Structure 1
């Protein structure tokens, strides 16, 4: 998030797009609800499914899956046409406005309505409410990123916020919501194939030299593989071994039949986790790890806040803290690591990561610190890009609309989109061991009343959903909350795994799979 949670209430308007916020990010959702119910904030929700947050919205718009760029272009078209944008901000702080304008002026509301299914008048209403707001905030999640046009979608959200002068101010910003504990921290620490910790590029000779000196070893300057590329490499034989930590690709990755085939093709698979996951069941070696309550450390949450994690319980059996396991393996392979505690590791992070330079073990305390925090005297940064962008001027870019990779046809006439429910967490490694949660939320296929009636399907009836990659069975949830021609399936459930169906094609830049739109066929059993 460019901005902080505390600033949510300062927004005059909040736009949520591609996020079932109350299901996947309930703390953020609660703050937004409070801002709407008890404050000045008006809410716009754009989602193919009528999510719970739509109850609080001044405007709820239902777009066809995969048409986010068209909708955002239509909103910007109206904002520019009516001169509701922040001309001074654009002139002083941005570049590329002419390119952006040339593209979005090709997307009048009537054209966007034909592409997206959102009525032209609703496009105009959203543009006016958002464009006239003194301060507007934008929140998105994987409904924006998990497309073959994921980078285009994200850039479009940034275009809108730059256009309206909402980046670099309290209560504004572009706020991607991070769903799992410490996923922000994992990225910050270099858990990506193209960067060292603190997003220092592996292709930068100075960065390579810096880490080679600190770690006393030679490092590659070549960009590595993403998760989807690793699995493809395993299938082809290019990747021989895989070490999986706290991840369960046998539930979370697209086209699960291909995932299983790829994992079984490896020479050696190691899984380090707190439970014997579906992926761990395929492993040659399973390393039992300590849970969050059984270790000390630091987590970084969605608002870039680094927080202390304090050990409350002794890990059971052979389970150990992740860093201890990794250090022992490194030393068994010939290294000489000698960390004594998580505090030692944080001190190294502080020395090598400029944005974490002022975040010492002692300073974090009970409230945490938000990076960038470059020095021990720095108070932390609640929101980014105040006064200027990190790159100098913000780069606007015209983004033409592109369709998803797989569209409905005669054989597979319905669009599938996937997501989460509040009662289950990610691949269910923890929550599905709780009978009460399973009783509250199990597998289902959310289907429109129109489609259910046309297929003769009753509410609660077990139905079959098939794609070009496989088929599953699950109970139908017949509802008006989803539009005709679209079904929604939560991905948590091994016995009705949505990712048996999903398309493994990826965004050409970010390499993220298109979980949010693929073609399926629904039928009675």
Structure 2
């Protein structure tokens, strides 16, 4: 620590911190136009100059290190004079249209001119005159208002790492634009809006659907409802409408948002929202009262339970609703109805993560925080299109890459990060186990393993050694298509590092051997000792905003909240005491079992909350058969494709209309806050579930989600130390067993959670979808940046729909040439389950025998995927490998 004096106040600060940082830590405000704590100091604006005793000139406080004994004045006469001159010069070529400028009220230049009494420039300078760039769907760039502070350029290059904009020309003509002045719509811009968020003036502004002034709005801090990153954000509310979203700085997102979080919020107040309960009468869904709808659902539950037993009812909880609501769905199904038939969409994405990592490590969750990847020396990304599916995490990876981290990418497609990787392994779909085993083979053969870690923290290493003995890189080349020498390089790079991080997502998990894929990655981390320390770990990226929380709350058929087994005597006793009822003890049906059971007639009723299986589940035609045969209750925010088949529809509130918590992919429990009222008769999911609990005899009188969370703390040990008060400003990572505990950002520190890391030998087996004579091509699926899950929310955004209006298939030029397919042609893709028709995109991102189809659209990829053959450990389907036949339309019975 060093000591300096600022405005007569003695300030202690860490050595190496700037004067600006020292002053800020002491509560002394220094104005600036260009500073951002995430950027390398560049001192562009000079507004932050201060006077240092003994110095020849004023110094930029944002880029000058504080020194021991320094005496500093932040508002001396010389400083104020300099700031006035700088503002005078800026105004010389800045338009004075504050009365009509949309940034008024949130403009830093306006505030500083007011503070220092600058009304107009004393210079008769030339004005800038640039055409506005309105080509982006979400925002406008007006360089006539730019003050060249550089924040947008540096945030784009250093933080977001997209590098879509730069400085162009020199001298007076210097301005910010895209390379070659191509315009934003033709640039590499991904519309994250992070440049807008840091612009201190009106040069970058969102396109507004209606006029508002910033002083007419109020801010509500909350958590994003899209992917599992859990970005913190501020909802700007005018009257009862969210008019804009701004990023907030939280541990998960560090002030970043993606295009969906920043701009795709039209769904909140969309006119298509469900506003009243609906009951099917004479084949048509008609409006009903809450009393009618809830009574009908209750009567059906009671009748079916009496005539067929509780296990004739199944419920799907949701990764989109809060922890409190998932908990009550769990309580409804198990406590009030008496069945363990509860599951949710984790079954279709990360059930294999939960099963695999719980077996080998004792915890089925992400081991390290997302931003911790910046501490990694080597990053191994496999089965994760990180920059599109989890854009903020993708930004962290790129930041790490620029700071010197090495990057290995293994994927069937040449994703964006493949272009930046030190090694890109273009593997065949379904060959991940072979790759992992071959890498471990090399590590053991070349004695690169961490022997001390293996001896002290693992068990069954001999079984692993035997299992990979024959898995040479040459053998793996025949399976994966990756050259043997490249596999060796990847193994050496991963092992020869003090901290290597594995990042994966559904490209690993959504296979019929998904659990073994996960176990093979755990083996790789264990054999090299890459657990329990910064920059390392096995890090699954969860797909939806609260899929981690839904799992934590027991929305799984075999465990109660906090992963307590349903057949454990301790679990049964704990929840009998908490709920006052006896609980079922046999594990229930998974999503992938419940729908076939409905089709077969053994499940008579399905209660679907916040899920859309008509798009998300495999083999759409078979899904429809099951949904149509059962009595179907759908609780959602829109009349989805699933809702259209329902017997009862219950209108729910969106995240901006209720209180609660989400748990993000790094196990961080964060607050969700109500900003607006729900439309019409729509109600929060917790309220709906509480009404049913009371009708079914499990008396509940929660005043709100906080009461529910307090009950969660009592029955879920990993959440016991977390409270609303403790996470008011920043979330906490579980496990957090007591209020005196600070949470657990990194798992397995000092000791693996299960006691010792278990090596689980696995052998590669080809997918049953491969080698079908009638379906010789391979289809794989995934997300794209501009849509989310089943498009329930993103399809309501005109900007999103303008960029990504329809489904498509990526086809390699070699396959396209052989089949006579050209760019834009309508292509028929068939599997044993059905056929779809989509437009072709010709690209070498995929291999010659592989096609890629996004899964967001109805009548899309999941019409073709297989829902019958499941992972034996966790019952997840093999979405990522489907045998198909691809032909130009007209050649398949068009």
Q: Return the TM-score normalized by structure 1.
A: 0.98
Q: Report what 1:309 is aligned to.
A: 672
Structure with larger RCO (C-alpha < 8 A, sep 6+): 1
Larger Rg: 2
Q: 1:491 aligns with which of 821, 833, 855?
A: 855
**Aligned match for 1:380, one of 705, 729, 743:** 743
Deviation for aligned residue 1:367: 1.1
Deviations along 1:71-107, one digit per CA (max 9) or x if unpaired, are 0101111011001110100111001111001111211
Q: Distance in 2 between matches of 1:342 and 1:377?
A: 23
Equivalent residue for 2:707, pick from 344, 350, 367? 344
Match of 1:435 among 791, 794, 798: 798
Q: Corresponding residue for 2:569?
A: 205
Task: Pick from 583, 587, 591 the counterpart of residue 219 of structure 1.
Answer: 583
> Does 2:840 correspond to 1:480?
no
CA distance, structure 2, for counterparts of residue 365 and residue 161 of structure 1: 35
Residue 444 of structure 1 corresponds to 808
Provide, for residues 456-479 of structure 1, a one-character-per-residue CA deviation record: whole Å limited to 9, x for no partner: 100111110000110000000110
- The answer on 1:96 being equivalent to 2:460 is yes
Deviation at 1:171, TM superposition (A): 1.2
Structure-1 residue corresponding to 2:380? 15
CA contact (8 A) 1:139 1:176 kept: yes
Equivalenced residue count is 522
Residue 333 of structure 1 deviates from its aligned partner by 1.8
1:369-518 to structure 2, matched below 5 A, reads: 369-441=732-804, 442-494=806-858, 496-504=859-867, 505-518=869-882
Match of 2:550 among 178, 186, 199: 186
Q: Structure 2: how far apart are the matches of 1:179 and 1:406?
A: 25
- For the residues of structure 1 that align with 2:724 and 2:772, how far apart are their CA atoms? 56
SS in 2 for 1:148: coil
Following the alignment from structure 2 to structure 1, what is the Cα–Cα distance between the partners of residues 665 and 833? Answer: 34
Tell me how large the CA RMSD over aligned residues is.
Answer: 0.8
Gaps of 5+ in 1: none
Q: 1:184 to 1:472 in 2, by over 3 A?
A: same
What do residues 180-214 of structure 1 show as CA deviations (whole Å, max 9, x unaligned)? Answer: 11111000000111111000110101111110111
Q: For 1:465 and 1:411, how far apart are their aligned partners in 2?
A: 12
Report whether the alignment pairs 1:292 with 2:655.
yes
1:49 to 413, 433, 440: 413
Deviation per CA, 1:54-74: give whole Å up to 9, x if none. Answer: 122110111111010000101
Distance 1:329 1:255, change over 3 A: same
Out of 265, 271, 274, the residue aligned to residue 629 of structure 2 is 265
Alignment partner of 1:353 is 2:696? no
- Please give the alpha-carbon distance, in whole angstroms, between the structure 1 residues aligned to 2:768 and 2:665: 30
CA contact (8 A) 1:408 1:520 kept: no
- Contact preservation (8 Å) 2:376, 2:499: yes
**Is residue 229 from structure 1 mapped to residue 588 from structure 2 by the alignment?**
no
Distance 1:139 1:408 in 2: 30
> What displacement does 1:436 show?
2.1
Which is further off, 429-438 or 468-477? Answer: 429-438
- Counterpart CA distance in 1 for 2:423 and 2:567 is 45
**Which whole-Å CA distance do the structure 1 matches of 2:437 and 2:446 have between them?**
14
Equivalent runs, 1:164-179 vs 2, <5 Å: 164-179=528-543
Contact 2:371 2:393 in 1 (8 A): no
Match of 2:389 among 6, 11, 24: 24
How much has 1:40 moved relative to structure 2? 2.4
2:726 equivalent in structure 1:
363
TM-score (norm 2): 0.58
The answer as to whether partners of 2:501 and 2:537 remain within 8 angstroms in 1 is yes
